[in-house]
Structure 1
């Protein structure tokens, strides 16, 4: 499995931790050269140094910054063979109780950040006849109450990637979509710190109510990158969700109302706990935006 990636230049966004960092390690073990992009320069540099790669600090929603990064990656390596648009953040809770800025930021990073990533790197992928993998989610396959921003953004990136596949396939570029269920990352652990959200998730039907280990999930993604797959499923059962996804909105709409009615008093009493982004990655995004607004951003 290592031969298809030997010597290929792979760009991964959101590579400081979680899925992105572990994917970098797995692809490096298969011979890839790595260009890691994200908001946490120290963590990125540590992963890059460990793997003999390079790192770039950039906000994926900043089109100018991403264009600069793409130019610098091509200048450093001479080409780009694979891009994995992995950067993502999340928030949870009822839509009407959410902060508009936080809700919108999830859409910006997950959807518009992926658009900016593709806009910056697709010319290089056309030149190399490369592969673009868009990381989506179970949230792209089924809606869920209290995840409106995340579901909307992941459904959006799925549709975006499918559209790109039709546009650039004739130029030799393959486009894939990666799907993950609840996986043991900082984002999921951060969401589970909210007692109400954690208990509601535990009431989901099997197998959607489990948290899955990170390593086998990312191993499946690495396999998908090596094969340049159109669809990559980090958990085996997600493939089957494609066949029933048309029925899920009605089912979730019925069952979700019951669960929301039961949880509403506790949600109302604890609303102040779920105003921001979840997990360490969300905290990094909020810190970067505060630094930018106060004029403390790095040159």
Structure 2
């Protein structure tokens, strides 16, 4: 990434990892365009930036990843105000708990719209500008983008799609000077789970034959979040992805996350796959 006034656009910065990443990136000297679907919810972000002494480096803008017009306006404004775009961090995301027989396909459409198609559209719009700056495209995925998890069918499907898209794009983007990486948190102590607004009694009452399994899943999940990584800890990995000289395709945010995905991926940082697929582009 260029050292000349680097500018990063981060989505989903009202709380949790996105808020922490915006403040951490500004603390690392980056100019941060912190976007939210509803800018009326920017208060905690602005307060955190002020407390960290980086308020002058954080600019709030409206961006709804499910609205292509909103994406286009936000990127155009960044270019008009700063003259460049050095990085995009896709952080906006939505959880989805339920199993397909009972939840139906609408839950899948909603998860894909936010977690996948929004990333695709913003990537499409941002790539020419990232190519001009030799920039970076970073997406906050999840260990659920590697390992499918019970009652997270829609969420994991959307994160699998995200990782498949970016793993395929990465060598193509690299051939034009753009670095692509995915950040994979495990359990993080943030508002993400609270924002799901799960009515546990109602979920269990409606679970039918899945009630015993759902009860076990919820107990396991709530226990995992009691020992969750902090949002600030996860944000450190994002800032590393933005600022390190060399960045692998895949980065986990904690030792626990690395150990979890290693159960499926021997190539934990994605280097083997990227080396293989990049070699295809050099074939004559």
Same fold (TM over 0.5): yes
**Corresponding residue of 2:158:** 153
Q: Give the root-mean-square deviation of aligned CA atoms.
A: 2.7
Residue 217 (structure 2) aligns with: 200
| Structure 2 residue 249 is the aligned partner of structure 1 residue 239 | no
- Number of residue-to-residue matches in the alignment: 244
Unmatched tracts of structure 2, length 5 or more: 205-213, 267-284
Offset at 1:241? 4.0
Q: Residue 67 in 1 paired to residue 86 in 2?
A: no
**Equivalence map 1:108-257=2 (5 Å):** 108-191=113-196, 193-195=198-200, 199-203=216-220, 210-227=227-244, 229=247, 230-245=249-264
Partners of 1:34 and 1:54 within 8 A in 2: yes
Select 1:40's aligned residue among 33, 38, 41.
Answer: 38
Q: 1:191 to 1:28 in 2, by over 3 A?
A: same
Rounded to whole Å, the distance in 2 between the matches of 1:246 and 1:20 is: 26
Alpha-carbon distance change, 59 to 91 in structure 1, aligned in 2, over 3 angstroms = same
Task: Give TM-score, length-normalised by structure 1.
Answer: 0.73
Instruction: Give 2:86's match in structure 1, choosing from 72, 77, 81.
Output: 81
**Cα distance in 1, alignment partners of residues 66 and 197 from structure 2:** 27
**Deviations, residues 228-252 of structure 1 (Å, cap 9, x unaligned):** 62222111232344443169xxxxx
Distance 2:30 2:67 in 1: 26
Q: Distance in 2 between matches of 1:102 and 1:63?
A: 21
Given that 1:125 and 1:173 are in contact with CA atoms closer than 8 Å, whether structure 2 keeps it comes out as: yes
Task: Say if 1:221 and 1:233, in contact at 8 Å, map to a contact too.
Answer: no
CA distance in 1, matches of 2:44, 2:190: 18
The answer on whether the counterparts of 1:45 and 1:55 sit within 8 Å (CA) in structure 2 is: no
Q: Tell me the distance in 1 between the aligned counterparts of 2:216 and 2:22.
A: 33
Structure 1: unaligned runs, 5 residues or longer: 248-299
CA deviations 1:23-53 (Å, max 9, x no partner) are: 0000111111011222121223663574222
Aligned partners of 2:97, 2:148: CA distance in 1, in Å?
Answer: 13
